[in-house]
Amino acid sequence: MFEIFNKFRAEDDGAVTVDWVVLTAAIIGLSIAVIAVIADGALDHSTGVGAALNNRDIPNYE
């Protein structure tokens, strides 16, 4: 029984795959969080720029 357990414990063929899956999930999660923060800020700035442009008077030289 101990031989089987020691052999199982020594096997590490799938350990790297698990590490990559966890790291990839963390990167994707952080990317989504950063995009959400940037999108809110960009929407605020674009709304402000649009309002400023709508309030400008354009002279008509006819």
What are the distances in angstroms from CA 54 to CA 22, 47, 48, 50, 51?
48, 11, 10, 6, 5
For 33-57, the pLDDT digits (tens) are: 999 889 877 877 888 888 888 888 8
Write down the pLDDT at residue 1. 79
Per-residue pLDDT reduced to its tens digit, 19-28 = 899 999 999 9
* Between 35 and 60, residue with greater pLDDT: 35
pLDDT above 90 (res 60) = no
pTM metric for this prediction:
0.52
Q: What is the pLDDT of residue 27?
A: 98
Q: What is the CA radius of gyration of the chain?
A: 28
Q: Please give the Cα distance from 27 to 31 (Å, whole number).
A: 6
